[in-house]
A and B are shown apart, each in its own frame.
Chain A
Amino acid sequence: MIRTIAKPQEKKVTGCGECRSTCQSACKTSCTVGNQSCERVTREEKIEKI
C-alpha cells in the first residue's frame, strides 16, 4: 500500500524573484534552496490571518 505523505501546493505565481537570497540563511556554506519559502505565499498567508 502507498500512503502519500506530502504533495506540493500548486504555485499561483512563479519566477517572480521576490524570495530571499539563499545565502542569507544560517549556513553560509551549504545553502539549500529547498529550505526556503515562497515570499508571496508567506505574505498572502499573513494577510489571510489578519
Chain B
Amino acid sequence: MVHVFHYHGHHYLYDTGSGALHECDEKTARHIAGEPVEWTDEELKAALADIEGLKDAGLLYKEEVPAAPVKSHEVKALCLHICHDCNLRCKYCFADEGAYHAAREMMSLETAKKAIDFLIGNSGARKVLEVDFFGGEPLMNLDVVKATVAYAKGEAAKRGKRFLFTTTTNGLLLDDDAIEFLNAEMENVVLSLDGRKEVHDAVRKTVNGKGSFDAVIDKIKKFVRIRGDKHYYVRGTFTAKNLDFSKDVLFLADQGFSSLSVEPVVTDIPELQIREEHLPVIEQEYEKLCDEYIRREAEGKGFSFFHFHIDLEGGPCLQKRVSACGAGNEYFSVVPNGDIYPCHQFAGDAKWKMGNVFEGSLNADIRDLFATSCLFTREKCGNCFAKFICSGGCNANNYHYNGDINKPYELTCVMMKKRIECAMHVHAERKSREN
C-alpha cells in the first residue's frame, strides 16, 4: 500500500510494505493516488521510470509480509501502583483522582517485593527488566519506592539481570531528597505539567481546589536542571478546553524543557472530552506545532516532542510492530493489594483482574486474549497506512470506547495518523537540511 499525503506544498509517498518514505512532485503524487493528471509525454515517461525503479528496489508497492507477533511469555515490565492516593485532584484523572474507584491506600514494601519476585520469576532469559512507579502520586510513598529499588537491584544482581526504573510524578513533592534519589536511580522520569498556567490550573487542582501550577513549576524546573542529559519527559494532557494545545507545548519548550509529550485526554467528562467535531482543529494544531518545531530545530533551538519521533530508518522489527504494546502478556500493572491487571488503564476493573502477586498465577484466558491480540486481529487496521507504526492503538482505549481491545477507537486513529504525517515531514525537512 502506498499512502499519498501532502504537507504545505510537499508531496509524500509512504510505502507501508517497505517502510520507505519518498517525496515527489504533485503530478506523480496525484497519479499514485489514482487522480486524473494532465501529463506531457516526457513527464509521464520520467514518472513511470521512477516508479518502476523504486518497485524494482523494493521501496514502492512492496508486498506487506504477514509477520507473526512476538510470542514470548516472558514478563518484562511491571507498572507498580505504589500509591493509590494523590495530593492533586485533577478533573480528568482516569484513575479517579488516584484512588482507582476504591479506598485510598499505599502499596506496602511486602507487596512491592512480591511484585518484584513475580517479575523476576516470570522473566525467563530476559536480562533487562522494567518497573514503572506509578500512582496516584508515587512520591507520597517514596520510602517504599526507595526500598523497592534497593530490593530489586539486589535480587537482579543475584540472577544476572538488570532493572530500568521509571517514575511518573506530578512534581508536588519534589524536594532535594526526592530529586537526588530519582536522578540517581531512575532511567526515566515523567513529570506531569499541562502547559500554560491557566490551562494547567483549570484541571490540575490541589486537594483544596486551587490550581497547582505555581506549586510545581519551580520544582520541575529545578529537577530538570539537575537531571542533566538523563532521560525525562515533561508530559501534559490537552482537553476540549485547550484545543490550541500547540501553545502549551511551545510554552513548555520556552520554560527550558527539551523533552515533551502532550497527549489527548482520556475521559468521559463531557466538557473535557475530545469529540469528533474537535478533530479538524486538533489536526491544524499538530501542523502548527510541526511548523514551529521545524523552524526552531533549523535555528538550533529545537526540542523533542514524543510523537514527532519516528525512526524511519531504524525502529523495531516487524514482529514487534505487529505485536501491539504487550499489555496483559509481557507487561502488567500491580495495584497496592497485589492484584494484577493487564495495564494501568484496566486497574480496578474486576473483570480484568488477572491474579495476585501473592498467588503468583495469571488468568490464562485473559493473558491469551492479549497475547494473541495483534495488528492482524484488528480488522479496521488492515487498510491503514499507519498500522506498522501504531500497531493498532491502545488496548485500553479500544476497550473503553469500543468495548473490544481489537476495535481501534476512531478518534485516536485520526490524531495518530496526523501525528505520523507530521513526524514524516519533520524527518524529511531534517534530511533536507543535512543535505
Contacts and interface: CB of A to CB of B under 8 A. Distances in A.
Contacts of B312: 5-8
- The secondary structure that dominates the A interface is loop
Of B24, B318, B326, most buried by chain A (CB within 10 Å of CB) is B326
A16 B20 CA distance: 23
B50 interface: yes
B317 A13 contact: yes
A21 B326 contact: yes
A1 B313 contact: no
B209 interface: no
Given A23-B343, A26-B261, A27-B235, A37 B50 contact: no
A16 B74 CA distance: 11
A37 B315 contact: yes
B54 interface: yes
A18 B24 contact: no
Interface residues of A, number: 38
B263 A27 contact: yes
B431 to A, nearest CB: 6
A5 B130 contact: no
A4 to B, nearest CB: 5
B102 to A, nearest CB: 20
A17 B70 contact: yes
A5 B23 contact: yes
11 contacts: A2-B28, A6-B427, A7-B312, A15-B68, A15-B317, A18-B126, A23-B79, A24-B132, A27-B235, A30-B264, A35-B307
Interface of B: 12-13, 18-25, 28, 46-47, 50-51, 54, 59-60, 67-68, 70, 72, 74, 76-77, 79, 126, 128, 130, 132, 164, 166, 168, 188, 190, 233, 235, 259, 261, 263-264, 266, 306-307, 309-321, 323-327, 330-331, 343-345, 388-391, 394, 397, 412, 415-416, 420, 424, 427-428, 431
